[in-house]
Amino acid sequence: MRSSIITRRAVLQGALLAAAVTPFHLTRPTHAQGAAPMKIRISFNGQTMKATLEDNPSVHDFASMLPLRELTIDNYATNEKISYLPRKLIVEGSGPFGNEQPGDLCYYATWGNLALFYAGYRWSSGLIRLGRIDGSFELLQTRGKFPLQIDLIR
């Protein structure tokens, strides 16, 4: 009986070790197997951008709110534009993420706002990546406050 306890313990330790050394991005796929990624259209100041969304609970909650027609987008700091959502999103499954880069679309759970980054930034507690802008995000550098629309494309 003692040998089976050691064997179970060894198996458990091996599984935990494998999980600990496997890179996070390999254990959490961006999109479900075979599912096409969700895309959105972000429109303000007479121009549009498209973004590809991640596959996480916060994104699914966000997508359930679309289309959003009565938002406002405004400057914040020197690297992002923000917009407050009609309600807070669920934050299940949130946590640190790597490879932050300009063009990221995030949700800042602490304040309940979208954050669209056009310059470098670092992850901070409460920040959840929802997706990334497809192609150019130069539109985000336009200074000013504008009406914002967000539509689900697919």
CATH of the domain at 93: 2.40.100.20
Residue 107 class from Cβ within 10 Å (0-12 exposed, 13-18 middle, 19+ buried)? buried
Residue 13, pLDDT above cutoff 90: no
In a domain, 10, yes or no: no
In a domain, 106, yes or no: yes
The arithmetic mean of pLDDT across residues 87-96, rounded, is: 90
Place of tokens 């932050």: 100
pLDDT band at residue 147 using 50, 70 and 90 as cut-offs: very high
Number of domains in the chain: 1
Torsion angle of the four alpha carbons 117, 90, 59, 42, in this order, in degrees rounded to the nearest 10:
-50
**Dist. CA 101–CA 152, nearest whole Å:** 23
CB atoms within 10 A of CB 54: 22
Report CA-CA distances (Å) from 99 to 56, 91, 109, 132, 141. 17, 20, 19, 12, 21
In a domain, 148, yes or no: yes
Residue 36 has what pLDDT? 80
Residue 67, preceding peptide bond in cis (omega within 30° of 0): yes
In a domain, 134, yes or no: yes
Residue 93 has what pLDDT? 77
Nearest one of 110, 143, 146 to 128, comparing CA atoms: 110
The arithmetic mean of pLDDT across residues 7-33, rounded, is: 44
The arithmetic mean of pLDDT across residues 120-138, rounded, is: 95
Which stretch of 32-41, 42-51, 93-102 has the lowest confidence by average pLDDT?
A: 32-41
Residue 71 has what pLDDT? 98
Residue 83, pLDDT above cutoff 90: yes
Q: What is the pTM of this model?
A: 0.76
Nearest one of 31, 39, 36 to 153, comparing CA atoms: 39
- What phi and psi values does residue 7 have, to the nearest 5 degrees? -65, -45
Q: Which domain holds residue 47?
A: 32-152
